[in-house]
C-alpha cells in the first residue's frame, strides 16, 4: 500500500488545545524539538509535563512506563513522525502491554524539522497509522483536515487504549516557546507531580 503523498491541513501550533480540554487531566511526555515546544506552549511548561531534549526516540517508551506505574492517571505522549520512527518497536511493546490510560499523539509534518526540513519517511511511503495498526494498537486514527476535529476529540475520550492519533499537519515552525532546558529540574518536578497525584488518590 502506498503511504501518504501529501501533508495535512492542520495547524500544528493550535491543535493540542483543540484536542484536549485541560492539560492538567494528563501526565504529559513529549519527544524533542517541535513536539516539546508545542506542548510547553500549550501547558505553560507545567509541572505535569516532561519534555525530552537530545534523546530522540525516548518519549513513547518513557510514557509507556509512566502509564504502567500510574494506572489511575491519563498519560499522554506527544511525539513527531521522525522521532517516533526512531523507536517504532515501542509501538509493539505498547500494544502488548495494553495500558488503557495511554494516548499517543504523533504530530506528523513529514519533515525532519530539527535538521533543515528534509522530507521524512512519511512524505514518501511510510504510513504511521498502518504501522500502529500492524503493531497491534487497538485504536488508531489519522487526522488530516479540520472537519475531523470533533471525531478526533471523541476518539481520544472514548476509544479503548492504548490509542494512537496521527495528526498530519501543514509544514511550518512549531510554537515559539522557550521551554525549560534544565532537564534535571524538569524530571524532579514531573516526579513530584506524579507522586502528589498518587498521594491524593490514596487518601480518597
The more confidently predicted of residues 12 and 200 is: 12
The more confidently predicted of residues 201 and 117 is: 117
Element housing 126 (H / E): none
Look at residue 178 in the predicted model and tell me its pLDDT.
Answer: 83
Q: What does DSSP assign to residue 72? A: T
Q: What is the pLDDT of residues 121-163, one digit of tens each?
A: 888 889 999 999 999 999 999 999 999 999 999 999 999 999 9
Domains and CATH numbers, the chain: 25-171 (3.40.50.970)
Q: Average pLDDT, stretch 184-195?
A: 89
Residue partners of 58: CB distance under 8 A and separation at least 6: 31, 52, 87
Look-up of cell digits 532546558: 181
Look at residue 121 in the predicted model and tell me its pLDDT.
Answer: 86
Q: Average pLDDT, stretch 80-106?
A: 95
Residue partners of 153: CB distance under 8 A and separation at least 6: 18, 19
What b-and-e string marks burial along 17-50, b requiring 16 or more CB atoms within 10 Å of the CB? eebbeebeebbbbbbbbbbbbbbbbbbebebbbb
Look at residue 116 in the predicted model and tell me its pLDDT.
Answer: 64
- Whether pLDDT at 76 is above 80: yes
**Sheet containing 102-108: order of strands:** 49-51, 26-30, 74-80, 102-108, 163-168, 139-143
Look at residue 106 in the predicted model and tell me its pLDDT.
Answer: 97
- Whether pLDDT at 2 is above 50: no
**Structure confidence at residue 59 as a pLDDT band (50, 70, 90):** very high
- Whether pLDDT at 182 is above 90: no
- C-alpha angle 84/49/107, rounded to 5°? 30
**Structure confidence at residue 32 as a pLDDT band (50, 70, 90):** confident
**Structure confidence at residue 198 as a pLDDT band (50, 70, 90):** low
The Cα–Cα gap between 86 and 145 comes to 26
Total residue length of the chain: 204
Amino acid at each position: 500500500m502506498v503511504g501518504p503523498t501529501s501533508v495535512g491541513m492542520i495547524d500544528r501550533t493550535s491543535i493540542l488545545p483543540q484536542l484536549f480540554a485541560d492539560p492538567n487531566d494528563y501526565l504529559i511526555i513529549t519527544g524533542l524539538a517541535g513536539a516539546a515546544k508545542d506542548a510547553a506552549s500549550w501547558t505553560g511548561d507545567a509541572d505535569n509535563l516532561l519534555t525530552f531534549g537530545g534523546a530522540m526516540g525516548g518519549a513513547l517508551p518513557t510514557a509507556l512506563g509512566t502509564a504502567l506505574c500510574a494506572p489511575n492517571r491519563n498519560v499522554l505522549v506527544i511525539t513527531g513522525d521522525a522521532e517516533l520512527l526512531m523507536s517504532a518497536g515501542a509501538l509493539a511493546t505498547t500494544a502488548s502491554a495494553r495500558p488503557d490510560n495511554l494516548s499517543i499523539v504523533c504530530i506528523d509534518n513529514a519533515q525532519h524539522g530539527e535538521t533543515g526540513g528534509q522530507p521524512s519517511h512519511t512524505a514518501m511511503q511510510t504510513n504511521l497509522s498502518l504501522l500502529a495498526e500492524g503493531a497491534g494498537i487497538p485504536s488508531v486514527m489519522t487526522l488530516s483536515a479540520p472537519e475531523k476535529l470533533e471525531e478526533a476529540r471523541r476518539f481520544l475520550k472514548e476509544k479503548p487504549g492504548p490509542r494512537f492519533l496521527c495528526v498530519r499537519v501543514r509544514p511550518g515552525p512549531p510554537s515559539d516557546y522557550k521551554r525549560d532546558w534544565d532537564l534535571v529540574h524538569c524530571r524532579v518536578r514531573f516526579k513530584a507531580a506524579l507522586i502528589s497525584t498518587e498521594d491524593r488518590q490514596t487518601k480518597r
